[in-house]
Amino acid sequence: MFERFMPKLRVDSVFDIDLDDLYAKGYRGIITDLDNTLVGAKAPLATPELMEWLQKVKESGFKLVIVSNNNMDRVSIFSNPLNIEFVHSARKPSSSPFRRAMGLMGLSSDETIVVGDQMMTDVYGGNRLGLFTVLVLPIAIGEEGWGTRINRQLERIVKRRLGKHGKWLEEEKNK
Ligand SMILES: [Mg+2]
């Protein structure tokens, strides 16, 4: 029952995602989380390094939509200067924001990747729809609200369970 929280791929950060490899495998779109995936939860704007990555995403042939559980202000202030489409107040792991994002990109579930830092929202939500899920390490864990802190506790339990079954082999890098 814990496999539903298991990402297809684990990397340290979005910068470690092998875009060319995923493109070769037929993926064309990225649904990405915002807080602690692209920037820290308290960082209002993209860093220069992230802007470069977003450009690379585009040049590699991918469409990208931000899907965030955070509110309209937070998500639009971040996304609008970058000209990126977004779904705010998404209520992940609900399926509807993922479907909406795929609709915005005009892509199907077998062409779409989900990237996020949380197993309970990003990974679970993506897995439910059969999307290729990528888990990144959270950028700034100290800046998280209480809802996320509870999810982190749940993640620890799930990782322990998966570990017992040999499915979560790596040491946790963030405590
Ligand atoms: Mg997040």
Q: Is the peptide bond before 138 cis (omega within 30 degrees of 0)?
A: no
What is the CA(108)–ligand 1 centre distance, in A? 23
What is the CA(67)–ligand 1 centre distance, in A? 10
pLDDT in tens, 43-55: 999 999 999 999 9
pLDDT in tens, 76-120: 999 999 999 999 999 999 999 999 999 999 999 999 999 999 999
**Stated pTM of the model:** 0.92
| Of residues 64, 5, 12, 4, the one with CA closest to residue 170 | 12
Name the CATH superfamily housing domain 2-164. HAD superfamily/HAD-like (3.40.50.1000)
What is the CA(147)–ligand 1 centre distance, in A? 11
| Domain ranges across the chain | 2-164
